Each structure stands twice: as C-alpha cells, then as structure tokens.
Amino acid sequence: MLPFPDAKSVSEKLDAAGYIRLSVTSHSFITGYKHSTFTASPWQADFERHFQLTNIAYLPPPDTGLSIVFADDSLVVVDKPAGLLSVPGRGEGMADCLVSRVQATFPDALSVHRLDMATSGLLILARGEEMHRQLSRLFRERQVEKSYVAVIDGLLATDAGEVNFPLIADWPNRPRQKVDFEIGKPSLTRFTRLGFDSANKTTRVELKPVTGRSHQLRVHMCALGHPILGDDLYGGVAQIKSERLLLHATDLALFHPLTAASLSFHCPVPF
C-alpha cells in the first residue's frame, strides 16, 4: 500500500499551495485562491486495470433479491449493496450490476445516476425513456437533494463547513480524480459532524454534495486530511481500517417527474 501523509502534513501542503480556511462561528469554509494542483496519491490507470494489477477479481455480493425502497410506474428506488457495480463494467465478468438485477424485475428500468461500486445506499432508476429524460433533467439541474453518511479518519475539528475544491479526472491515473485549481470543474460538498469515536480516532459525518463530480466526496474528504475509512483509491492508511468503504447514500429528495408530488427516501446506515 502506498504511503499517505497524515492530516497535519496534508494541511501544511494545502497551506503551502495557497489555500485558506475562514472560520465563521462553528462553520469552516475552505477556499482555494491560488492556481495550483493537489493530488492525493497515485493509483492504477483505469477501473479495469485496478482489478488486473492488484489481482483482485470482481466478486459482486450474492444476489439475494432487491432491496426496493419505492417503486411505481415512473421510477424505482433501491438500496444498492457495497461491492456491486451500478452499471455493467467493460471488462470480462463484469456484467452483474444493480441495473441488470433491477431489470430482471423491471425490464424498462434505466440508469439515471450512479454510486461508486464500493458505496452503498439509495439509487434511483427511471422506468422508460420519457422518465429517463425527466429524471436526468432533475439531476442535471440539481433539483435532487442527496445526503450521505461516512466515517472519516481522524477527529474533525469543526462542527460543519464546506469544501469547494475544483475536481478533474487524473487521466494518467484513471479512475482517480484530483483537485486542480487551473482546469478543475467547480465542486462543492457540505459536511456536518455527527459524532466522534475517540478510541479509534474517527469521525462520523453527514455529506451533502451540491455538485455531482466523480469521487467528489472521497476526494474532498481526502484533501481535508480526513479520508474515508476503507477507501482503496484515496484512503492511504485509512484503507486498512475498514473492510469496506464507509460511505452510504442515506437520503434522496425530489419532486416526482410525473405528479410533482414531493418524494423523500431514507435508507439506514449499515455501519
């Protein structure tokens, strides 16, 4: 496993690169003001090579039936287990995924958004092409509220705050993403501290992504010096502190694309 700096050294690197922290009451706002690039750590070139180079086969969890949270003629909401791809992978033996399992019951189900393979929790699928267009528009226009719970390494000092580091794909090291203040896309995550585990020196947090960049929550927590436990891409020493990525999509809220009814879904944290 590759070495990774502790929270203090990460903070020192961020400060040296031109980042500032502005504290207002109990909220900490973290802002980049200098063109710079901060990369958490190098990794494999792409998703398939991640498995090939580490000799780890894709072993999805057994199909014991769908955990359906909600279903009607327009959409399906399910609880995705950790370790299952949201959509089929491109490599051999990577066809088993949440979409294929849902389509066995709802043949017209279509993917609207994704969760990382290692992330568990709520996922919405559209039923039919028209609902796919409508739901995709809601996500594109940021009319879907999403909340996650994660356990991060270290004791987070502030009650709540924001991270607005711009993100971009780290192409030589795909599927990794990185913070890049020159060409990165605007990315905003709001966080709230939920509690401490002083014995294990970890913090439970609620995370609300305002934007929806790939790996956004994972990279933002890593850039703060508090990587999510079990993260094999950005976790460093925090990777070995959990057998799975401790990130779970707990809540989704939106207006029904057909009836305009207010919908709110919750899925309890399994860790």
d(CA 107, CA 104): 6
CB 241 within 8 Å of CB 230:
yes
| Residue 215: exposure state from Cβ atoms within 10 A (0-12, 13-18, ≥19) | buried
Spatial CA neighbour of 75 closest among 26, 131, 137, 134: 131
pTM attached to this predicted model:
0.82
Tell me the C-alpha distance between 108 and 264, whole Å. 23
116 is catalytic: yes
Q: Which domains does the chain have, with CATH numbers?
A: 7-49+147-243 (no CATH), 61-142+249-266 (3.30.2350.10)
Give the active site residue among 79, 116, 153, 170: 116
Along the 271 residues of the chain, how does pLDDT read in single tens digits?
A: 333 334 444 444 444 433 333 332 233 333 332 333 333 333 323 445 455 434 468 999 999 999 999 999 999 999 999 999 999 998 889 999 999 999 999 999 999 999 999 999 999 999 999 999 999 999 999 999 999 999 999 999 999 999 999 999 999 998 999 999 999 999 999 999 999 999 999 999 999 999 999 999 999 999 999 999 999 999 999 999 999 999 999 999 999 999 999 999 999 999 9
Is the previous residue joined to 61 through a cis bond, with omega within 30 degrees of 0? no
